[in-house]
A = this chain, B = another copy of it.
Amino acid sequence: MSHPFDPGYVAEPFLTLCSEYPGADVYPPDQFRTEWGPIFHRGRLDGSARILVIGQDPAQHESVIRRCLVGEAGRRAQGLLRKLGVTRSYVVINTYLYSVYGSVKARTRKDPRLVDYRDRWIHALLAGGRIEVVLAFGRVADEAWRFWKATPAGESIDVGYAALTHPTQPESASNGDKVKLAEATTALLRNWNKALQAVAPRVQHPDVPTPFIAYGDAWADDDRIGIPEFDFPAGLPAWMREQDGWARRVGPDDLAKRRNITIRIPKGVLT
Contacts and interface: CB of A to CB of B under 8 A. Distances in A.
Copies of this protein in the complex: 2
A120 interface: no
Interface in A253-271: 255, 258-265, 269-270
A254 to B, nearest CB: 10
Interface in A79-135: none
A5 interface: yes
B264 A37 contact: no
Q: Which of A4, A36, A234 has the most CB of B within 10 A?
A: A234
Contacts of A264: 259-260
Contact of A8 (B8, B239, B250): B8
A184 interface: no
A40 interface: yes
A70 to B, nearest CB: 14
Contacts of A9: 5, 7, 234
A16 B37 CA distance: 29
Interface in A179-213: none
Nearest to A33: B270
6 contacts: A9-B234, A19-B234, A37-B235, A66-B236, A258-B265, A259-B269
